[in-house]
Each structure stands twice: as C-alpha cells, then as structure tokens.
Amino acid sequence: MDIRTSHWTTVPTLRGRHVTLEPLHVDHAAGLRAALGNGELSKLWYTNVPPPEQAGSYIAAALEMQAKGQALPFVVRNAEGAIVGCTRYYDVDPVVPRVQIGYTWYARSVQRTGLNTEAKLLLLGYAFEAMGCICVGFETSWFNHASRAAIGRLGAKQDGVLRSHRRHADGSVRDTVAFSIIESEWPAVKRNLLHKLEQHDSEPGDSQGER
C-alpha cells in the first residue's frame, strides 16, 4: 500500500474562501495571543484552550509532537489573513492509515461562521484524498456539549464514551466522547459540508475545543 510518506511528515497549507490553514510556527505566538483575547476561552474548564500568556508554550508543545511524528499542527487564518485559532492532526498512524482531528479552538469573532465548516472540509479532504486515510477520528469531553453537537453535524458517527480516559486542563478526570468518519462515508460527508458552506451564515454552533 502506498502510504504517501511525505503527506504524513510535512504540514500542508490548505486554502479555502473563508479560511487558510498553514503550518504552525513559533512566529505565530503574537497572533495566537491576540486571538485568545482576554483569556475567556481558556476559562471553559472542559477544554484545553491555553490562556494568552501560554501561547508560546502551547506552540512549543505542538511542535514537539510534530517532531516526534505524533501530530501535524496548523495555525488558522480568516479570509483577511488574521490569525484566529489553531487545529491539528494528531494520533497520526500511516499504517492503518488514520488520523484524529482536534486541538481546535477559534477566536470568538469567527465562531458560528462558515470558517470551521470549511476548515473541516479542507482537513477531511486532505486526510481522505491526499493521505489516503480509511478513518478520521474526533474526541471531545463529555461536558463539551457544543463540540459534541458540532462534530455530529459534520456527519461523524459516535463510536462510544471512553470512561476516565484523560484529564481536563484543571486536572479533573475526563470522560471522552469518540467520533469517527470512515472512508466510505466521506463522499456523503463532503456533500453535506459543501451544502453547509452555501448556507454558512445561518449555520449555528461552530465551536471550539475538540479533544
């Protein structure tokens, strides 16, 4: 099987009308601090969104995961080019082949817009069509109801709940809700996301905090 090695080691740049995903870099720290604003996003205890002052260490940890072959992290820019968040592929496994999409958060200004829908379209398209994945997974906290609903609206199926699976940022034990999209479902999911993009102004609930 051709596992398309370069696609699993190099972070691509993915461009759409509403969003651009580009390789995360240390130089993005100031932009991420601005996107994090006054730290309100980090106060959601069931997410792992960093406070603004930890933007640099957040990037360093993501790049360390990339160096170990565990993740492909992106910075997210809006249509005007401003940095508005982060996302990444993680638990990358080219043997299956499979990835997870998560560590996703967005500035308040772009939530409930078409940006997340298009970002997921780009990420899923690259995973299935360039990387050759047979499955793409998503995880979120049991208590992150907005994220659970948003993942479901993508067309992902809930696989189950992993009890006492991880810890939240505050140290409390987390039950993880696991979702996935498999290769045979991708054509229908793609059509669904393209349809949502056409109506993005009326699509509620794009949120932050997968994984």
Cis before 97 (ω within 30): yes
pLDDT tens for each residue of the chain, 211 residues long? 455 678 999 999 999 999 999 999 999 999 999 999 988 889 989 998 999 999 999 999 999 999 999 999 999 999 999 999 999 999 999 999 999 999 999 999 998 789 999 999 999 999 999 999 999 999 999 999 999 999 999 999 999 999 999 999 899 999 999 999 999 999 999 999 999 999 875 554 444 456 6
Q: Apex CA 203: angle with CA 80 and CA 120, to 5°?
A: 60
Sign of the Cα torsion 113, 157, 71, 141 reads: positive
Strand 98-106 versus strand 157-167 pairing type: unpaired
What is the H or E stretch that residue 71 is in?
strand 71-78
Q: Apex CA 210: angle with CA 47 and CA 208, to 5°?
A: 70
Looking at residue 208, its pLDDT comes to 47
DSSP state of 124: H
CA 3, CA 200: separation in Å to the nearest integer? 34
Q: How many CB atoms lie within 10 A of CB 164?
A: 9
Amino acid of residue 86: C
pTM for the full predicted model: 0.92
Neighbouring residues of 209: CB distance < 8 A, sequence distance ≥ 6? 44, 46, 47, 48, 49, 104, 105, 140, 141, 144, 146, 147
